[in-house]
Structure 1
Amino acid sequence: MADGLNEARALRIAEIMTDFRNLQHYIAQIDAQPASEEYWLEGYTLLRGCLEQARDVLESPYSTDAAQAQSESLEKEKQQLQAIILDAAVRRFQCQKLYLRATTALRWINARYALLQGGKPHASHAPHLQAVDQQLQAELAVITDERVDYSLRAQDAAQGKWLGEDPPLSTLRRYLRRMS
């Protein structure tokens, strides 16, 4: 039976989709053109992968699997809104994680550029480049599902948003597994 929260659900969808749209905009602004000899280096490969995956998220169709029709129209609307919240939350989660990984790759690119100052690497750069590569790995290691989920929830809570039906991380993961 309907619970009178459909307006709150609709508002939550708008909030999540605004975050998703903003993340997509930020990701679309990312551009790095490596020299041909740098094209396959880890940071550039990571960045290209993030950008491609973000496009895939944007282009993936809305999944209606979660919405089941009921006899009462308010109950049907409730279920549809809940399904949209889930789909939107998954997309926002994916894009947040991709954005964090892409900005990590950009920091790697910038650190590498600062070290080489536009020149070609040579033997004296090796330990410094190795340190830059290790920093990339260390930063990527902390971009976990748990951290992404926590950061999104903390941000939403700090802004006073209604989180009553935001799906938990376990549900997001289950949904993502089903999509792949």
Structure 2
Amino acid sequence: MADGLNDQRTARVADLLSDFRTLQYYIAEAPVDPQDLEDYYTEGWAAMRQCSIDGQHILNCAAETRVPRVRGGPEEQAKAELLQVMLDAYSRRHEGQKIYLRQLAAQRWVGWRDQVLAGGRPHTGNQGQLDACDAQLRVELAAITDDSIYSDMRSSDYQMGRWTHEDPPLRQVQRWLRARR
């Protein structure tokens, strides 16, 4: 029995894929190597490189294309397929947002570090400030959780008036992501 919502499902998938594509552009544009190669192994630059790797991974991981046959005709089969594609797109967007937020935190760290160094190099006189930058980065990265991302994205979608009635629950998104690691 068709429910007549496949047009809304299709539009939702298009919105999710558009969001994911935008996130991928932002992730790909961020620098991954410091100007001074002595900074290569510092916490923030390591985080920036990991974000780039994670962004490439979520872009390249295969979509789940197996959709079981359902009863009810072509409309019901289309619904099942759209729900599967929606889960894939929603999960990719979720992970892309997580990567992007981690990347922004690392970029802030680069800015803080540059302010502390003021064109110079690390030394005993600025080590305490650099350690504080590292500690702040760790705090910010720890605050980027699946729960907070899921909640923020749902709220954003709702405020934009997007159709969210069949968005997958967080646990399903997390299962999808774990299966691709």
- TM-score norm. by structure 1 comes to 0.96
Q: Secondary structure at the match of 2:116?
A: helix
Bigger Cα displacement from structure 2, 92-101 vs 137-146? 137-146
Aligned length: 179
In structure 2, the residue matched to 1:130 is 131
* C-alpha RMSD of matched pairs (Å): 1.1
Cα deviation, residue 18, structure 1: 0.7
d(CA) in 2 for partners of 1:156, 1:64? 26
d(CA) in 2 for partners of 1:118, 1:33? 17
- Percent of aligned positions that are identical: 40
For 1:112-154, what per-residue CA distance to the aligned partner results, in whole angstroms no more than 9, with x for missing partners?
Answer: 0111012111100011111111110111111011011011101
d(CA) in 2 for partners of 1:70, 1:32? 46
Give the letter for the 1:169 counterpart.
L
In structure 2, the residue matched to 1:59 is 60
d(CA) in 2 for partners of 1:28, 1:2? 41
Give the letter for the 1:152 counterpart.
M
Cα deviation, residue 32, structure 1: 4.3
Cα deviation, residue 26, structure 1: 1.0
Q: Secondary structure at the match of 1:124?
A: coil
Cα deviation, residue 33, structure 1: 2.8
d(CA) in 2 for partners of 1:141, 1:76? 41
For structure 2, the residue ranges without an aligned partner over 5 or more in a row are: none
Counterparts of residues 32-71 of structure 1 (less than 5 Å) = 32-34=32-34, 35-65=36-66, 67-71=67-71
Runs of 4+ in structure 1 deviating by more than 6 angstroms, as ranges, are: none
Counterparts of residues 12-51 of structure 1 (less than 5 Å) = 12-34=12-34, 35-51=36-52
d(CA) in 1 for partners of 2:100, 2:166? 24
Give the letter for the 2:46 counterpart.
T
d(CA) in 1 for partners of 2:57, 2:179? 16
In structure 2, the residue matched to 1:119 is 120
Structure 2 residue 7 is the aligned partner of structure 1 residue 10:
no
Cα deviation, residue 178, structure 1: 2.3
The question of whether the paired residues in 1 share the 8 Å contact of 2:61 and 2:180 is answered with: no
The question of whether the paired residues in 1 share the 8 Å contact of 2:64 and 2:88 is answered with: yes
For structure 1, the residue ranges without an aligned partner over 5 or more in a row are: none
Cα deviation, residue 64, structure 1: 1.5
d(CA) in 1 for partners of 2:37, 2:27? 23
In structure 1, the residue matched to 2:147 is 146
